[in-house]
Amino acid sequence: MILTDIDRKVLPAALRANGGFHHATEWYLRGWTPIPYQYAWHNAAQMNTTFLAGIASGKTNVEAASIAIDCISIPYFRALSTSVTAKQAELPFDMFMAWYDGNDHLEHLILDIKLRPWPLIKFQNFSEWEFRTCGMDARFIRGSEYDRIAYDECGLDFVGESVKTLRGRLRGTRPDNTKRMARLDTLTSPTAAPWLETRFWRGVKGHDTADLVKYLSFKVKTRDNVMLTEDQIALMEAEYTDLDIDVEMNAEFPDYGMSMFPKRHISACTDQGLNDIVMLALNPRLLDDGGGHPKKGYVMEEHPRHGLMKFEMPREPKGVYIMAGDPGIDDPPKRNAGAIGVLDISKKPAKMVYFDWVSGRGSYMPFLDSFRYAMSKYTPSIKLLDTTGPQKAMQELAFENLGIETDAMNFTRDKDAALNSLSLAVSNHEISWPLAKGIQRQMSTYTRENDRKSGFPQDITMMLAMLAFGMRYSPQEVEDDKPPRPRRYSRKRRTRHTRRVKRA
């Protein structure tokens, strides 16, 4: 490797002992300068850090800058950026590439960049930096040794077993006989994950569980980012409820109060293994011994901020499917963003095989297109659609424009029954869904009081309530004193469907 005269000065200064992190980022990362809390986090002496962050506080940005400087300044350094989703794990890679492309201060320090099976940067000094999803319990991160691991959006992992596995990867000695750094960084917006709160308080001075030799914690509010203007902050605040401002912008742990769905049951119904099945089907080389081509019938689309947007598994010949949709014209995470779900109820717990948090962009058509697609793929026996309130004309629109036949559900009449059905299904762990930030957030915050508040997101919860309501019935005869059945709309006229249903 050929170093320039400036390299010979800046790279040694970049080491933590010499305090030159900011000089290195300014030279190698196109003038990027750390805010004081970012500088302090990079230079933390503790090998366990927790970074609770408001939106736009520079959490992922400083992760990318900090690890990049470690890799170019420490020979044989091995780093991993990971998350519960592939999109989030690869964000630091995208940030690094924005600094790297056409940068003659940095390009000569890079040996190779690979994109498959996951992004990997190799440096001229034999350092390496990987970007890959960890999977449930960090199943994809095994058999490797690292100097440093950054676990971004770790709060979506409610169980916390991945942290234990990742800590076990931080060990060993580099080829030059120096010990690896063994630093584990957990970064996230606050969630109700119990292990996260425990870990955070261990790094806070004055707390009765504090262990400042091993842990250091940061709480960074959106307003702490001095690069943001007041107008920008005000526009962000306008998009959130008061509770969301506390969590998303002030980095406070959420206090959801007496939610209708306790978080321990939400956690029990969340199956990250479903995400892993789809991830492996789409990326068979994620496992070190994997191979082959992507499988058909699987879809996973993620938003870097809002998590899982679309999730799809193949139709099984022996599957028994029901589906439900809550129409909307807005974009996630707003209240009026449409939500569609399909359950396979052939086995217990019922398994979600299709989830679409629809970006309406001001129109019902994206919702209807997704609803029709799911109906065609899974041929569900029950197809519930909320047709009350603003969606009153949805049945006619679905029928006239797209030929969709659905079971109308009157939430004015059946809402209590549907929510009670969902409460029972969740409490008894009779339903499982993939790891999705939207599902966790809306279920955790749902109360009857919040339901009545303008702008409080609940569309996913209502879709799940309809699915739980549908789980109780099959298209068979029942006695007349059973709960009311949905109405079926036919092509010629709107009538009550003649087939009755009974409890499953």
Average pLDDT over residues 294-317: 93
- In tens, the pLDDT along 51-87 reads 999 999 999 999 999 999 999 999 999 999 999 888 8
Do the beta carbons of residue 386 and residue 409 sit within 8 Å?
yes
DSSP conformation class of 295? P
Secondary structure (3-state) at 273: helix
Residues 135 and 276: beta-carbon distance below 8 Å = yes
Find all residues with CB under 8 Å of 143, minimum gap 6, and list them.
288
Summarised one tens digit per residue, pLDDT across range 177-219 is: 999 999 999 999 998 888 999 999 999 999 999 999 999 999 9
Q: How confident is the model at residue 408 (pLDDT cuts 50, 70, 90)?
A: low
How far the first Cα of the chain sits from its last, in Å, is 69
Q: Hey, what are 207's tokens? A: 């707390």
pLDDT for 478: 32
Rounded mean pLDDT of 437-457?
81
Structure tokens at 118: 């996951």
Query: Angle CA(54)–CA(159)–CA(308) in degrees, nearest 5?
Result: 55
Walk me through the domains of the chain, giving residue ranges and CATH numbers.
Answer: 5-134+143-249 (3.40.50.300), 263-503 (3.30.420.240)
Q: 325: Cβ–Cβ under 8 A, 6 or more apart, which residues?
A: 338, 339, 340, 341, 367, 371, 384, 385, 386, 463, 466
CA distance 94 to 281: 24
d(CA 110, CA 122): 6
User: Which 3 state secondary structure label does DSSP give 32?
Assistant: coil
Residue (of 119, 172, 116) closest to 146 by Cα position: 172
